[in-house]
A = this chain, B = another copy of it.
């Protein structure tokens, strides 16, 4: 047999993560039940529980996958920029493209940690990790800029970080790009 398209179905694990990623992000963690995930993934419940201990574990896998995807797209988007400083400013271009595309659905990590059962600590840890990675990315980029000392680069990176988070959540609430546009303007001022 010849398979023009790769007929090999994705494995159970991959299908679950893929489906859950879509559902968790677009309709919310609390709004998404196990049953919907396995139905849409076309997977038996017992098979799913062979690969994941709990719903929280699925969410952790989702967030890990999302992290590499999100950081990858960020790198891709800022690649065309020459200076570290303009790379950092370009983050807000990335935010605009991304958030308008998803109809201002906001940040996957912000969304999941704000209304979570008290004991879901693995999810919270993923949020902390992701935000720390982004924070580190900003600081690292800015530290490449000769005009800044290391200390300055760290402080400026943190300020940009706050602007990013504010732009994301506010654009989500207001369903508008103005917070991102505003944040970009503020970012330029700060780095000037």
In the complex, chain A residues 146-189 whose Cβ is within 8 Å of any chain B Cβ: 155, 158-159, 161-167, 169-170, 172-174, 178-179, 182-183, 185-186, 189
User: Which residues from chain B contact A30 at a C-beta distance below 8 Å?
Assistant: 30, 115
Contacts of A185 in B (CB 8 A): 155, 159
Would you call A162 and B159 a contact (CB within 8 A)? Answer: no
Is there contact, CB below 8 Å, between A162 and B186? Answer: yes
Q: Does A50 contact B (CB under 8 A)?
A: no
Tell which of A63-71, A74-82, A104-112 binds the partner.
A104-112
Does A62 touch B at the CB level, under 8 Å? Answer: no
What is the chain B residue whose CB lies nearest that of A111? Answer: B114
Q: Contacts A28-B116, A30-B30, A162-B183 known; A173 to B109 CB distance under 8 Å?
A: yes
Assembled-state Cα–Cα distance A174/B130 (Å): 11
Contacting A27 at CB < 8 Å: which of B110, B113, B118, B164? B118
Q: Please determine whether A114 and B118 come into contact, CB atoms closer than 8 angstroms.
A: no
Structural contact, B114 and A106, CB atoms closer than 8 A: yes
Interface residues in A91-110 (C-beta closer than 8 Å to B): 106, 109-110
Contact of A127 with B29 in the complex, beta carbons under 8 Å: no
Question: Number of A residues whose C-beta is below 8 Å from B?
Answer: 43
**Cα separation A140 to B174 with both chains bound (whole Å):** 19
Given A31-B117, A166-B164, A158 and B131 contact (CB-CB distance below 8 Å): no
A190 on interface, CB distance cutoff 8 Å: yes
- Determine if A173 and B131 form an interchain contact, defined as CB atoms under 8 angstroms apart: yes
Complex-state Cα separation, A174 to B136, whole angstroms: 14
**From A112, A113, A127, residue with most partner B Cβ within 10 Å:** A113
Q: A28-B115, A158-B182, A165-B165 are in contact. List 5 more A-B contacts (CB 8 A).
A: A31-B115, A111-B114, A128-B174, A165-B166, A166-B169
